[in-house]
Amino acid sequence: MRNQFSLEGRVALVTGGSYGIGFAIASAFAGAGATIVFNDINREIVDKGLEAYALDNIKARGYVCDVTDEDRVKDMVACIEREVGIIDILVNNAGIIRRVPMTEMPAGDFRNVIDVDLVAPFIVAKAVLPSMIKKGGGKIINICSMMSELGRETVSAYAAAKGGLKMLTRNIASEYGAYNIQCNGIGPGYISTPQTAPLREPGHPFDAFIISKTPAARWGMPEDLQGPAIFLASEASDFVNGHILYVDGGILAYIGKQP
Ligand code: NAP
Ligand code: GCO
């Protein structure tokens, strides 16, 4: 039986791929045969990412690009298409979070989170879709969140963005499924990356809380997302569209331990 999970011959763009979840997903794609391109917001971070990929013997190409800048994103995609090839797989991974009580959050900060976590995935998907259509298909994977389904104190902007990203995922699936383009989401649980480092400070109450809310009784690791990402990037998922695959250790299924 042919390997449905092979990414041989595919070009994958992972936004914000210098480290964290993006780096783990891109590394897995490289192991499955894909050619990796990634971007980050400044040269220093891109260079650190290139060093990290090189340490893993991955020949990635890095581009400096703020994903909220539509003109820059268009230029980056055109450059990738010239230098590497048509993008077969897009992972909209770049993201930020601001943990501030809503009543204390300036509207500008709210808009900034929406820009990066929701508008940017729209911008980047819009930039890669035309060539995917011409090529006869493609894969778009949006990195959603527990906050695509749940709220919690201090993350109003992030939850609004990730909830919107779930519906953008479904809409891209609806609008472009006829072109053999599958758009799905991955909803990570609580993963050990720089983004959640403040919540994992020794003695932080959130650390014990998350472990109590997770049937797997542990924080996720970026590597936990690699298999699900390969599945959604490969032909194994050619009839999966508009789906958010939660990789959360069971959080969404669990009411919580009886006190
Ligand atoms: P992270 O450690 O903060 O990494 C995010 C990456 O995105 C960084 O490389 C960051 O670069 C980049 N980025 C931010 N804004 C950007 C912009 N405007 N243009 C280009 N790149 C930009 O986050 P992570 O934990 O790996 O999370 C990656 C994705 O998974 C995010 O979308 C996040 O919301 C989502 N997620 C995370 C978790 C979790 O528990 N960690 C769970 C669910 C979903 P800088 O270094 O310059 O900021
Ligand atoms: C938070 C966390 C979460 C995770 C992730 C969960 O403050 O609640 O940062 O938002 O990043 O999105 O899926």
Please report, for the chain, the start and end positions of each structural domain, with discontinuous segments joined by +.
2-192+221-251
- In the predicted structure, residue 130 carries a pLDDT above the cut 90: yes
In this model, does residue 254 exceed pLDDT 90? yes
Confirm or reject: Cβ of 142 under 6 Å from ligand 1.
no
Given the residues 158, 176, 190, 246, the one annotated as active site: 158
Distances from the Cα of 23 to the Cα of 26, 39, 47, 62, 164, angstroms? 5, 11, 13, 12, 24
pLDDT at residue 2, rounded to an integer: 83
pLDDT at residue 216, as a whole number = 95
Structure confidence at residue 220 as a pLDDT band (50, 70, 90): very high
Domain 2-192+221-251, CATH among 3.90.440.10, 3.40.50.720, 3.40.190.10, 2.40.40.20: 3.40.50.720
pLDDT at residue number 1: 73
The predicted structure's pLDDT at residue 10 = 98
Q: What is the mean pLDDT of the chain?
A: 97
| Ligand 2 residue neighbourhood (C-beta within 6 Å) | 97, 99, 145-147, 152, 155, 158, 188-190, 195-196, 199
Protein residue whose Cα sits closest to atom 23 of ligand 1: 195
pLDDT band (50, 70, 90) for residue 114: very high
Ligand 1 within 6 A of CB of 251: no
Q: How far apart are CA 234 and CA 11, in angstroms?
A: 12
In short, whether 188's Cβ falls inside 6 Å of ligand 1 is yes
Say how many Å lie between the CA of residue 74 and the centre of ligand 1.
21
What per-residue confidence (pLDDT) applies to 257? 87
Q: Which of 158, 193, 252 to mutate to test the pocket of ligand 2 (most atoms within 8 A of CB)?
A: 158
Output the pTM of the full model. Answer: 0.98
Ligand closest to CA 198: 2
CA of 107 to the centre of ligand 2 (A): 20
Distance 1 CA to ligand 1 centre (A): 37
CA–CA dist 226, 239 (Å, integer): 20
Mean pLDDT of 158-185: 99
Regarding the beta carbon of 214 and ligand 1, being less than 6 Å apart is answered: no
pLDDT for the residue 134: 98
Q: Which ligand is nearest to the CA of 186?
A: 1
DSSP state, 142?
Answer: E
Nearest ligand by distance to the CA of 40: 1
* Beta strand segments in the chain, E: 11-15, 35-40, 61-64, 89-92, 138-143, 181-188, 244-247
Quote the pLDDT of residue 39.
Answer: 98
Q: Does the annotation count 158 as an active-site position?
A: yes
pLDDT recorded at residue 92: 99
The whole-number pLDDT of residue 69 equals 98
Q: How far is CA 257 from the centre of its chain?
A: 30
| Other beta carbons less than 10 A from residue 5's beta carbon | 15
Average pLDDT over residues 188-208: 94
Closest atom of ligand 1 to CA, residue 219: 40
